[in-house]
Structure 1
Amino acid sequence: MITHKKVTIFFISLLLFLFLLKADKGINELWFLVAILAWLAINIYGTARISSNYIVKAFCNNPLEKEKKIALTFDDGPSIYTLEVLELLKKYNVKATFFCIGKKIEKHPEILQKVIDDGHLVGNHSYSHSKFFDFYTEATIREELQKTDALLEKFTSKKINFFRPPYGVTTPSIGRALKITGHNVIGWNIRSLDGGTKNQELIFNRIIKRVCPGGIVLLHDTASHSVLVLEQFLQFLQQNNYKVTSVEELLNLKAYEN
Structure 2
Amino acid sequence: MPRKTRWGLVLIVVAALIGWAIYAWLPPAMPKPGQIAASTPKARQYVRTPFLDDWDQADLAIMADHARLNPDLAWLEGPTHRRVVALTFDDGPSPYTPDLLDVLKKHHVKATFFWMGKHLEGREEVVRRALAEGHTLGNHTYDHPDISGTSEDFWWGEQISRTQDIYQRIIGKRPVLFRPPYGKIDDGEIKALGQHGLKTILWSVDTQDWNKNRWLFGSHYIERWIQTYIHQEAIILMHDGGGRRDQTVEAVDEVIPWLKAAGYEFVTVDELLGIKQAYQ
What is the TM-score normalised by the length of structure 2? Answer: 0.69
C-alpha distance after superposition, 1:158-185 (max 9, x if no partner): 3321100001111356346525523101
SS of alignment partner, residue 159 of structure 1: coil
Residues 165-204 of structure 1: matches in 2 within 5 Å?
165-171=180-186, 174-175=189-190, 177-198=192-213, 199-204=218-223
Select 1:110's aligned residue among 105, 108, 125. Answer: 125
Select 1:229's aligned residue among 226, 242, 251. Answer: 251
What residue identity is the alignment partner of 1:158? K
Separation in 2 of the partners of 1:205 and 1:257? Answer: 33
Whether the 8 Å CA contact 2:148–2:186 is kept in 1: the answer is yes
2:257 is equivalent to residue 252 of structure 1: no
User: How far off is 1:216 after superposition?
Assistant: 1.0
Residue range with higher mean Cα deviation, 226-235 or 90-99:
226-235
Residues 20-31 of structure 1: matches in 2 within 5 Å?
none
Select 1:133's aligned residue among 101, 122, 147. Answer: 147
C-alpha distance after superposition, 1:124-183 (max 9, x if no partner): 0000102x4335322100111111011112344233211000011113563465255231
Separation in 1 of the partners of 2:113 and 2:190? Answer: 22
What is the TM-score normalised by the length of structure 1? Answer: 0.75
Separation in 1 of the partners of 2:99 and 2:187? Answer: 37
C-alpha distance 137-176 of structure 1, shift in aligned 2 (>3 A): farther
Deviant stretches of 4+, over 4 Å: 54-57
Residue range with higher mean Cα deviation, 169-178 or 106-115:
169-178
What residue identity is the alignment partner of 1:59? W
2:64 is equivalent to residue 51 of structure 1: yes
C-alpha distance after superposition, 1:41-74 (max 9, x if no partner): xxx847x8433217754211124123x2111111
C-alpha distance after superposition, 1:193-247 (max 9, x if no partner): 0012222232221111111111111111121111111111112112222110121
RMSD over aligned CA atoms reads: 2.3
Partner residue, 2:114: 99
SS of alignment partner, residue 160 of structure 1: coil
User: How far off is 1:85 after superposition?
Assistant: 0.6
Separation in 2 of the partners of 1:245 and 1:187? Answer: 16
SS of alignment partner, residue 98 of structure 1: strand
Task: Percent identity, please.
Answer: 30
Partner residue, 1:148: 163
Partner residue, 1:32: none
Gaps of 5+ in 2: 1-57
Greater fraction of residues in helix:
1
Select 2:232's aligned residue among 207, 213, 236. Answer: 213
2:65 is equivalent to residue 65 of structure 1: no
C-alpha distance 146-235 of structure 1, shift in aligned 2 (>3 A): same
Partner residue, 2:35: none
Partner residue, 2:5: none
Partner residue, 2:265: 243
What residue identity is the alignment partner of 1:249? E
Whether the 8 Å CA contact 2:128–2:171 is kept in 1: the answer is no
Whether the 8 Å CA contact 2:78–2:273 is kept in 1: the answer is yes
User: How far off is 1:254 after superposition?
Assistant: 3.6
Gaps of 5+ in 1: 1-43
What residue identity is the alignment partner of 1:129? H
C-alpha distance 127-156 of structure 1, shift in aligned 2 (>3 A): same
